[in-house]
């Protein structure tokens, strides 16, 4: 038996919420209801009190000044049905100007929204962005249905039926609905994600080259996870020893090759993540035949390569999110922040490559994400796959803002 908190906001679909409450009660759960003033214009609070046997949390009649905290901490899950365009926007913005919204802000349990609105409102760009952003934040959104709406038009925006909502909510509670639980699985649906991975090789002659210790595991984890989340992934990779199911891998050798391959995909990418360890310097001259051993000393002149991340940062549009990495052995925060500015990235994912337990060739990593707005987030030590999910989710949130 679980504690289910049902939020009711002002829409004609309010009457269906009475059936939803009944479904939960019949399934043996405790239900408490909270209503906005507008919702009470459609259905009286006494209906919900009679069904749930608990006092309804109302805007003008709260049992105590901290009822919103009490209701929020009581809940194992919260479902708002119907969720109007107004409430969706306010939840996304973190506004708490009534009891229901204050309670939502205080929740620590899963939150599910069942939107209901007129078709044109549902297709409004801001409403769409709000829903996308809420999904990115891990809030569960129940698809609307198409049908005849209260405004006598037919189209999308009709609230799902009570039995459908009840099933989804109970599945989330029982951790059975994989699709809903892993809401981020379609978070990147249809987005173009461009990822660079692995080391580059700078040839001196046909048999000798300069490279680095990058295994490519972080970049490949990003590509695999982005692929699982529904993205169109383009991976530009140096030579690595990884078996991957990613269909579009462009293998390259040198930093210059990587730069050229990158240019082919840059413009159409929505999210760009530069996990490759690109050589900063390359021999100024590549010998066509093997250099023969001669003098006791030999000098090799190196010249700077093009900084691909910096190019991307200074040529991207406002609709592209750019993530760079900073592999550091010391002064991580200072260097990461200066790379954020110099390369005009949206996020710099910094890691300490001097640590033996993470970084190069390890399956684990610990990253601190530095954001353009000054925020920072440490992931703690986790598998590279889980770190990849965090980086992708944060990028998707930025893209939806």
- List the catalytic residues: 151
Q: Which stretch binds ligand CTP (CB under 6 A): 12-20, 93-101, 233-241, 271-279?
A: 271-279
Give me the least distance between CB of 196 and ligand CTP, in Å please.
Answer: 6
**Does residue 231 touch ligand CTP according to CB under 6 A?**
no
User: Please, which residue, 166 or 308, has the CB nearer to ligand CTP?
Assistant: 308
85 within 8 A of 157, measured Cβ to Cβ: no
3-state SS of 241-275 is CCCCCCCCEEECCCHHHHHHHHHHHHCCCCEEEEC
Select from 58, 140, 265, 339 the one that contacts ligand CTP (CB under 6 A): 339
User: Please, which residue, 42 or 209, has the CB nearer to ligand CTP?
Assistant: 209
Beta strands 347-352 and 364-371, pairing class = antiparallel
Select from 48, 325, 360, 370 the one that contacts ligand CTP (CB under 6 A): 325
323 φ, ψ (degrees, to nearest 5): -120, 125
Q: Which stretch binds ligand CTP (CB under 6 A): 143-151, 171-179, 285-293, 301-309?
A: 301-309
Neighbours of 166 (CB within 10 A): 23
Give me the least distance between CB of 323 and ligand CTP, in Å please.
Answer: 8
Give me the least distance between CB of 20 and ligand CTP, in Å please.
Answer: 48
**Does residue 276 touch ligand CTP according to CB under 6 A?**
yes
129 φ, ψ (degrees, to nearest 5): -65, -40
Give me the least distance between CB of 276 and ligand CTP, in Å please.
Answer: 5
Q: Which two tokens stand for residue 251?
A: 């293998």
Q: Which stretch binds ligand CTP (CB under 6 A): 78-86, 180-188, 290-298, 305-313?
A: 305-313
Select from 117, 172, 278, 387 the one that contacts ligand CTP (CB under 6 A): 278
Select from 109, 255, 332, 369 the one that contacts ligand CTP (CB under 6 A): 255
Select from 79, 308, 358, 399 the one that contacts ligand CTP (CB under 6 A): 308
Give me the least distance between CB of 343 and ligand CTP, in Å please.
Answer: 6
- 191 Cβ neighbours under 8 A, 6+ residues apart: 230, 231, 232, 270, 271, 396, 399
User: Please, which residue, 177 or 256, has the CB nearer to ligand CTP?
Assistant: 256
Q: Which stretch binds ligand CTP (CB under 6 A): 58-66, 113-121, 136-144, 270-278?
A: 270-278
**Does residue 13 touch ligand CTP according to CB under 6 A?**
no
Give me the least distance between CB of 202 and ligand CTP, in Å please.
Answer: 11
User: Please, which residue, 88 or 218, has the CB nearer to ligand CTP?
Assistant: 218
Helices (H), 269-382: 308-315, 332-342
**Does residue 280 touch ligand CTP according to CB under 6 A?**
yes
User: Please, which residue, 270 or 307, has the CB nearer to ligand CTP?
Assistant: 307
CA distance 321 to 187: 15
User: Please, which residue, 35 or 276, has the CB nearer to ligand CTP?
Assistant: 276
Select from 324, 362, 365, 389 the one that contacts ligand CTP (CB under 6 A): 324
Give me the least distance between CB of 82 and ligand CTP, in Å please.
Answer: 45
CA distance 25 to 40: 21
Instruction: Using CB atoms within 10 Å of the CB of residue 35, give its burial: 0 to 12 exposed, 13 to 18 middle, 19+ buried.
Output: buried
Footprint (CB under 6 A) of ligand CTP, residues 196-215: 196
300 within 8 A of 283, measured Cβ to Cβ: yes
Q: Which stretch binds ligand CTP (CB under 6 A): 7-15, 111-119, 318-326, 378-386?
A: 318-326
Host H or E run for residue 304: strand 302-304
The string over 137-157, giving b where at least 16 C-beta atoms fall within 10 Å of a residue's C-beta and e elsewhere, is eebbbbebeeeebeeeeebbb
Query: Could you tell me the CA-to-CA distances from 223 to 114, 140, 220, 388, 397 in Å, in that order?
Result: 32, 25, 5, 8, 18
Host H or E run for residue 51: helix 45-52
CA distance 122 to 115: 9
User: Please, which residue, 86 or 211, has the CB nearer to ligand CTP?
Assistant: 211
Q: What are the residues binding ligand CTP (CB under 6 A)?
A: 196, 255, 274, 276, 278, 280, 305, 307-309, 324-327, 339
């Amino acid at each position: 038996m679980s504690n289910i908190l049902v939020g009711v906001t002002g829409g004609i679909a309010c009457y269906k919420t009475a059936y939803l409450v009944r479904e939960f009660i019949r399934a043996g759960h405790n239900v408490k209801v909270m209503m906005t003033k507008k919702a009470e214009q459609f259905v009286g609070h006494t209906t919900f009190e009679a069904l749930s046997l608990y006092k309804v949390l109302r805007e003008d009649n709260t049992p105590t000044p901290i009822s919103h905290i009490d209701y929020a901490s009581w809940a194992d899950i919260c479902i708002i049905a119907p969720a109007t365009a107004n409430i969706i926007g306010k939840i996304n913005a973190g506004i708490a100007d009534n009891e229901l919204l204050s309670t939502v802000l205080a929740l620590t349990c899963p939150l599910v929204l069942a939107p209901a609105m007129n078709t044109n409102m549902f297709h409004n760009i801001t409403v769409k962005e709000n829903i996308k952003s809420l999904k990115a934040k891990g809030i569960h959104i129940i698809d609307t249905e198409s049908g005849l709406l209260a405004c006598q038009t037919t189209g999308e925006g009709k609230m799902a039926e009570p039995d459908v909502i009840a099933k989804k909510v109970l599945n989330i509670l029982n951790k059975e609905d994989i699709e809903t639980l892993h809401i981020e699985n379609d978070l990147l649906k249809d987005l173009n994600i461009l990822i660079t991975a692995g080391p580059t090789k700078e040839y001196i002659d046909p048999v000798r080259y300069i490279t680095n210790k990058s295994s490519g595991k972080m970049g490949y984890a990003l590509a695999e996870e982005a692929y699982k989340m529904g993205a169109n992934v383009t991976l530009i990779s140096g030579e690595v020893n990884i078996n991957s199911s990613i269909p579009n891998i462009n293998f390259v050798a040198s930093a210059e090759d990587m730069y050229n391959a990158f240019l082919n995909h840059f413009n159409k990418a929505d999210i760009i993540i530069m996990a490759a360890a690109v050589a900063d310097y390359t021999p100024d001259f590549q010998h066509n035949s093997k250099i023969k051993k001669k003098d006791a000393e030999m000098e090799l002149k190196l010249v700077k390569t093009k900084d691909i991340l910096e190019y991307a940062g200074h040529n991207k549009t406002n609709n592209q999110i750019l993530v760079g990495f900073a592999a550091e052995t010391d002064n991580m925060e200072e260097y990461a922040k200066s790379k954020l500015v110099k390369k005009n990235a949206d996020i710099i994912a910094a890691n300490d490559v001097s640590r033996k337990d993470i970084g190069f060739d390890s399956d684990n990593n610990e990253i601190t994400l530095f954001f353009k707005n000054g925020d920072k987030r440490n992931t703690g030590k986790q598998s590279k796959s889980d770190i990849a999910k965090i980086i992708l989710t944060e990028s998707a949130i930025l893209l939806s803002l």
